[in-house]
Amino acid sequence: MDTRFPMEDIAPIAILMDELRSEDVQLRLNAIHSIPTIALALGNDRAREELVPFLQDSVDDEDEVLLALAEELGRNFEEYIGGKQYAHVLLGPLENLAAVEETLVRDKAAESIVKVAAVLSNTQIEEYYIPLLNRLSQGEWFTSRTSAAALYPPVYSKVSPATQEHLRKGFAALGSDDTPMVRRAAARWLGALVKNLPKQYVLSDGLPIYRRLQSDDQDSVRLLTVEDLIVIAEQLSPSEIKEQLLKQIRHSISDKSWRVRYMAATHFNELAAAVGLELVREELMGLYVQLLKDNEAEVRTAGSGQIPGFSKLLDKEVILARIIPCVRDLSHDTSQHVRSALANQISGLAPLLGRDATIENLLPLFLHLLKDEFPEVRLNIISKLETVNNVIGIEYLAESLLPAIIELAEDKSWRVRQAIIEYIPLLATQLGREFFDEQLGNLCMSWLGDTVFSIREAATINLKKLTEVFGVEWAKVAIVPKVMGMGQHPNYLYRMTTVQAITTISPSLTLAIVRSEIIEPLLQLAMDAIPNIRFNVAKSLEVLATTFGQSSEGHALVQQRIIPALEHQKNDTDADVRYFATRALQKALSVNEISVKGH
Q: Using an 8 Å Cβ cutoff, are 475 and 508 in contact?
A: yes
24 vs 259, which has greater pLDDT?
259
* Choice among 39-48, 136-145, 436-445 with the minimum mean pLDDT: 436-445
pTM, two decimal places: 0.73
Q: What is the pLDDT of residue 20?
A: 61
Instruction: Name every residue whose Cβ is closer than 8 Å to that of residue 335 and which is 6 or more positions away in sequence.
Output: 297, 300, 301
% of the chain at pLDDT higher than 70:
94
pLDDT band at 295 (very low <50, low <70, confident <90, very high): very high
Centre a 10 Å sphere on the Cβ of residue 153 and count the other Cβ atoms it contains.
20
Residue 261: inside a domain: no
Domain boundary, last residue among 120, 139, 155: 120
Residue 53: inside a domain: yes
Residue 28 has pLDDT above 80, yes or no: no
Vertex 156: Cα angle to 154 and 158 (nearest 5): 90
Residue 71: inside a domain: yes
Q: Using an 8 Å Cβ cutoff, are 400 and 385 in contact?
A: no
Q: How high is the mean pLDDT of the chain?
A: 85
Q: Using an 8 Å Cβ cutoff, are 307 and 269 in contact?
A: no
Q: Using an 8 Å Cβ cutoff, are 480 and 498 in contact?
A: no
* Tens of pLDDT, residues 516-546: 888 888 888 888 889 998 999 999 988 888 8
Q: What is the pLDDT of residue 12?
A: 58
* Tens of pLDDT, residues 151-200: 999 999 888 899 999 999 999 999 999 999 999 999 999 999 999 898 88
Residue 586: inside a domain: yes
Domain boundary, last residue among 62, 89, 120: 120
Instruction: Name every residue whose Cβ is closer than 8 Å to that of residue 483 and which is 6 or more positions away in sequence.
Output: 448, 463, 498, 501, 502, 505
Residue 526: inside a domain: yes
Q: Using an 8 Å Cβ cutoff, are 455 and 417 in contact?
A: yes
CA distance 288 to 282: 11
Residue 324 has pLDDT above 50, yes or no: yes
Residue 364: inside a domain: no
pLDDT band at 17 (very low <50, low <70, confident <90, very high): low
**Domain tally for the chain?**
2
pLDDT band at 257 (very low <50, low <70, confident <90, very high): very high
Residue 81: inside a domain: yes
Domain boundary, last residue among 105, 120, 135: 120
Structural domain boundaries enclosing 13: 9-120
Residue 386: inside a domain: no
Average pLDDT over residues 128-132: 91
Positive or negative, the Cα torsion across 437, 438, 444, 450? positive
Q: What is the pLDDT of residue 172?
A: 93
Q: Give the CATH number, domain containing residue 590.
A: 1.25.10.10
